[in-house]
Amino acid sequence: MSFDQIAPEALKLPTRERAMLAASLWESIEDPFELSIDFDDEAALNLAEERDREIESGQVVAVSHQDLMQRLRQ
């Protein structure tokens, strides 16, 4: 089934069932930004410094929180 087939049917569900479906779908998505439990202060500092170097060198471009949220909503 495709999204175009499922979405209209899912939207017909009662509010509580739509919320349960949304929660179930959300939980099924792996977080690509999840950090391991072993991520200590030194590792966090190293990562922050690495990200800073990437931004300073132009390797990556930082985006504002507002831009990020707008992109995520598209």
Half-sphere exposure of 38 (CA within 13 A, CB side): 0
The reported pTM is 0.43
CA 6 to CA 69: how far, in whole Å?
A: 26
The confidence score (pLDDT) of residue 30 equals 79
The confidence score (pLDDT) of residue 73 equals 87
CA 53 to CA 62: how far, in whole Å?
A: 12
Q: Is the CB of residue 41 less than 8 Å from the CB of residue 48?
A: no
Integer-rounded Cα radius of gyration of the chain: 19
pLDDT digits (tens, 9 = 90+) for 13-56: 999 999 999 999 988 887 766 766 677 889 889 989 999 999 99
